Each structure stands twice: as C-alpha cells, then as structure tokens.
Amino acid sequence: EGYDSTEGFNGADMIPQFILRRLYKKGSLKNTDIGIEFILENSLASATITRINRISADNKDIPLPQIEIKGGSGFVKADNINENTSILFEKGKEIDVRLSTDRLTEGEHLIKVSVASKEFGELSFDIKDRV
C-alpha cells in the first residue's frame, strides 16, 4: 500500500513521488523523549520550504504546533514556517523532523510528508520505515 506509481501526481506536482522518497533517510525513524523523529536528506536539488501542509504517522495527522523542523538556525515550529520564515533545504544537507506525539511501537510504520516549496510547488510523498 502507498506504492502505486500513479499516486502523488496532482496538477501541482512537478516531481514524482518515487523520486521524492529519496529525500527520506532510510533507517532514521526513531522514538525520542517527546515523540518521534526522522531525517530528510537532500540529494536532489536545493529548495525553500515555505509551508508544512501535513505530516502523519500511521495515518494519524500530527498537529502543526507539534511538528518542529531543524533548519540552519535551530528548530522551527511547523506553524511558524511561511513565505517570510522559510527553511532552506540545501542539496547535500539534512533536516531533522521532530514530532511531539505518541511514541511508535516496534516494527514498520507509514510516514506521510507534504510541504510547499518556492521552487517546486507542492511536494508530497510517503515512506515506510522501522523503529
């Protein structure tokens, strides 16, 4: 489930989901003292993230105030990210994503990420990883 080749193509999408999945650092999903964390690793092209649309774990949406993204100057809450307070996601760099939510059980989990970028529009993908 979640690996349909036609999925993730709406009018605004410029980059297919199977390529966007490369942004996820496989094996980075882990439980923390506040919830869960994973890493996005940019091997594609530099982009400016102007909005977090949604992030979900096992189809449970995480409220934006409970999502923090670590950019160059420390952690920024997802609801504070906008055109003026954007996050530069440079090629070759990593971004930590922290979610204040319930910890995950051991095993495989489905993570969905949807953001808006200045250069590429809406970027949405899902991945499966293990804790």
pLDDT digits (tens, 9 = 90+) for 57-112: 999 999 999 999 997 778 999 999 999 999 999 999 999 999 999 999 999 999 99
pTM of the complete model = 0.87
**According to the model, what pLDDT value does residue 11 have?**
43
3-state SS, residue 80: helix
Write the Ramachandran bin of 80: left for phi over 0, alpha for psi from -120 to 50, otherwise beta: alpha
Nearest alpha carbon to residue 47 among 4, 86, 104, 1: 86
Quickly state the pLDDT bin for 43 (edges 50, 70, 90): very high
Statement: residue 3 has pLDDT above 50 = no
Write down the pLDDT at residue 13: 57
